[in-house]
Amino acid sequence: PFVTEGITDAKAQLIDPAVNGTSMVLRAAVRAGVQRAVITSSVGAIMGSFKEKKGAFDEDDWNTSSTINSDNGLDLYRLSKKLAERAAWDISRESGLELAAINPSFIIGPPRMARRAGESLSYMRAFLEGRAPPRGDSPVADIRDVARAHILAAEVPGAAGQRFLISTPGAIRIAEISRLLAEQFPN
């Protein structure tokens, strides 16, 4: 779950659901004879803090700074994503299941479902309602690019065993997002 506020028990609210959910789905896939799985991980599995590395992060990196003792909800979320992805790779190695991981940064873009809850939609809703969103400047990934990455990771033979970071090269300023949304939705 993408929860970053109101966390009173990170293990119960974030880590166990992420790790156990990922593990149960992949084990069921193995039992059903699935040959390849593509998981949605997160840039949070790659990096927890910009202080972890000098220069750009890439798919070879793993978050080394997020800990269960953090009082930062976003950091706890990142930890849950790292641990869930690690569990997925363990299952892949143990079972022979081909695996690819998609690691998007903060996902934005047009919703395709009636659901109106969630961090990404709350972020956009805040802008459209004239409020500052709870997140600051952030790297982002367009949902359409993330969807395409999943399809390619499932279809391209060489994608097995790989991680794919989907993100803008740097943080997008909230002022820029606000300006773009104002142009598209003037009222």
Task: Supply the residues annotated as catalytic.
Answer: 81
Question: 113-118: long-range contacts (C-beta < 8 A, 24 or more apart)?
Answer: 118/2
3-state secondary structure 7-34: CCCHHHHHHHHHHHHHHHHHHHHHHCCC
Q: Residue 75: enclosing H or E segment and its boundaries? A: helix 73-95
